[in-house]
């Protein structure tokens, strides 16, 4: 009897070991990829989080928090027609007016996916309040909130005819939404020039007025904060200070003073970082988890010398970490303790003109520079779709989106190698 029990245990353990053995594959070299594999060029495990989804799945933009505990919120558009799919792959980011785009959540531990919305109208908004466990989105002129536990949408606000705008962020305590309002003239430029290469300079040169605003979630009160004849964009609240809002002057980076903050109570505006040499650029800014530091891509000058810069919110003190041309990334992000950073790389057509930059990177500060590690080979990914890296809530994985299988999916790569 003992012999049989021993053999049975050997059989079970052997099966478990075989199940853990993953295929070693060049990422994106076959389609479809398996649900899990080892990137043959890096040795890191990659998991397709949206393996059970049809159509295009899209994680949030890099500075928009998608997490509520172990749940990650994302979009999927599973019933698109072929023309819509083609258009999505041509854009730098996805089209917010794609039909059949719905919100979903995935439990990062169990991998269970839940559909959260079922709207017949196009929606947009990547806004999650971790504090109140609430998701916000917009359909036409109406703003809605939804809690994953109930999936019951609640109307929060309807923009009036004379102030049509869009929400983009929620503050740290979940009491305020914010965004920027564009003039009809700017909307007309976008309508007639849908590609970024066409509208980008046109909107910048137009110098049209734009207004920052907040909406009180409980009362629906609209507060107009600040108007400037500049393209105000990338509006995002501090990760800890509910009264501090960050925004940028959009346009060609070498022509703008990019990053600013505003106190929503006092309306005091502060510039973040100042140009020190000709053609110096900084942008793609985000608040670290602690809220103490605003981080950004810094190039001194543009396309030549590369850093990730940090601006201490209270003192204005700055630090910077250098990296190599091939390590430059379209977007960077930081972990919960701001001791590790991630980058999504870039193709040869990007600003760095990197010959070998198509990787998901892990960066560790080492003095005044970054020590890098390649996590995923992205040579089969078309960078018209930005990967937009996020650290998972436990900092064990970096989550990104990619189209190396044709349709876009959301993936997670483990920070530690499988044999570490």
| Sheet with strand 45-48: strands edge to edge | 24-25, 36-39, 45-48, 407-414, 397-405, 390-391
**How far is residue 45 from each of residues 34, 113, 343, 391, 412, measured CA to CA in Å?**
12, 21, 17, 15, 8
Q: Which tokens go with 413?
A: 């790569």
Rounded to 5 degrees, what are φ and ψ at 270? -130, 135
Confidence check: pLDDT of 25 > 90: yes
- Position 281 scores a pLDDT of 98
- Position 20 scores a pLDDT of 67
- Tell whether pTM > 0.75: yes
Nearest in space to 179 (alpha carbons), one of 237, 112, 133: 237
- DSSP-H helix ranges across 21-108: 82-90
Mind listing the pLDDT tens digit for each residue in 161-208? 999 999 999 999 999 999 999 999 999 999 999 998 899 999 999 999
What CATH number belongs to 159-272? 2.120.10.30
At 282 the three-state DSSP class reads strand
**How far is residue 335 from each of residues 111, 316, 396, 415, measured CA to CA in Å?**
21, 22, 9, 11
Mind listing the pLDDT tens digit for each residue in 355-408? 999 999 999 999 999 999 999 999 999 999 999 999 999 999 999 999 999 999
Helix (H) or strand (E) holding 18: helix 2-20
Rounded Cα–Cα distance for residues 232 and 203 (Å): 11
Beta-carbon contacts of residue 94 (< 8 Å; ≥ 6 apart)? 56, 58, 75, 88, 385, 408
Every domain of the chain with CATH number 2.120.10.30 lies at 159-272
CA 10 to the chain's CA centroid: 45
**How far is residue 409 from each of residues 20, 51, 206, 330, 405, measured CA to CA in Å?**
23, 8, 37, 18, 8
Per-position DSSP letters for 164-218, written without gaps between them: --EEEEE-TTS-EEEEEE--HHHHHHHHH--SHHHHHHHHHHHT--EEEEEEETT
Q: 86: pLDDT confidence band, cut at 50, 70 and 90?
A: very low
Size of the chain in residues: 420
- Position 12 scores a pLDDT of 40
| Bridge-based pairing state of the strands 134-139 and 124-129 | antiparallel
- Position 100 scores a pLDDT of 84
Mind listing the pLDDT tens digit for each residue in 284-310? 999 999 999 999 999 999 999 999 999
Is residue 244 within 8 A of residue 214, CB to CB? The reply is no
Nearest in space to 135 (alpha carbons), one of 166, 177, 77: 177
| Bridge-based pairing state of the strands 24-25 and 36-39 | parallel
Is residue 59 within 8 A of residue 392, CB to CB? The reply is no
Nearest in space to 175 (alpha carbons), one of 105, 265, 97: 265
Q: 418: pLDDT confidence band, cut at 50, 70 and 90?
A: confident
- Position 112 scores a pLDDT of 97
Q: What is the mean pLDDT of the chain?
A: 91
Rounded Cα–Cα distance for residues 14 and 30 (Å): 29
Q: Which tokens go with 359?
A: 């990787």
At 5 the three-state DSSP class reads helix
How many Cβ atoms from other residues are within 10 Å of residue 276's Cβ? 8
């Amino acid at each position: 009897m003992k012999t049989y029990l021993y053999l049975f245990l050997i059989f079970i353990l052997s099966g478990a070991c075989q199940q853990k053995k993953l295929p070693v594959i060049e990422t994106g070299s076959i389609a479809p990829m398996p649900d899990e594999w080892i990137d043959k060029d890096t040795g890191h495990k990659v998991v397709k989080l949206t393996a059970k989804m049809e159509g295009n799945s899209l994680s949030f933009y890099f500075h928009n928090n998608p997490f509520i505990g172990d749940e990650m919120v994302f979009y999927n558009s599973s019933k698109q027609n072929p023309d819509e799919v083609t258009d999505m792959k041509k854009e730098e980011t996805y089209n917010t007016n794609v039909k059949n785009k719905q919100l979903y959540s995935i439990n990062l531990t169990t991998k269970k996916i839940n559909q959260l919305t079922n709207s017949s109208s196009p929606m947009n908004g990547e806004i999650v309040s971790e504090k109140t466990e609430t998701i916000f989105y917009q359909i036409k002129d109406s703003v809605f909130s939804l809690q994953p536990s109930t999936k019951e949408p609640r109307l929060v606000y309807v923009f009036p005819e004379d102030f049509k705008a869009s929400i983009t962020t929620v503050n740290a305590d979940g009491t305020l939404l914010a965004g920027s309002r564009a003039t009809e003239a700017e909307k007309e430029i976008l309508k007639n020039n849908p590609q970024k290469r066409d509208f980008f300079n046109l909107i910048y040169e137009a110098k049209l007025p734009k207004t920052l605003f907040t909406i009180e979630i409980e009362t629906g009160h609209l507060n107009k904060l600040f108007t400037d004849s500049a393209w105000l964009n990338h509006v995002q609240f501090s990760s800890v200070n509910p009264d501090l809002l960050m925004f940028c002057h959009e346009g060609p980076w070498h022509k703008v003073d990019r990053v600013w903050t505003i106190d929503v109570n006092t309306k005091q505006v502060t510039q973040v970082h100042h140009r020190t040499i000709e053609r110096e650029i900084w942008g793609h800014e985000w608040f670290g988890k602690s809220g103490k530091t605003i981080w950004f891509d810094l190039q001194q000058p543009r396309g030549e010398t590369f850093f990730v810069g940090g601006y201490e919110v209270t003192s204005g003190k700055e630090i910077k970490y250098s990296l190599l041309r091939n390590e430059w990334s379209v977007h960077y992000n930081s972990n919960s303790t701001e001791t590790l950073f991630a980058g999504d790389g870039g193709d040869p057509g990007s600003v760095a003109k990197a010959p070998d930059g198509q990787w998901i990177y892990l960066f560790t500060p080492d003095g005044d520079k970054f020590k890098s590690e390649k996590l995923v080979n992205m040579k089969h990914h078309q960078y018209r779709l930005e990967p937009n890296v996020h650290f998972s809530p436990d900092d064990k994985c970096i989550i990104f989106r990619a189209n190396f299988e044709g349709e876009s999916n959301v993936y997670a790569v483990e920070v530690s190698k499988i044999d570490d």
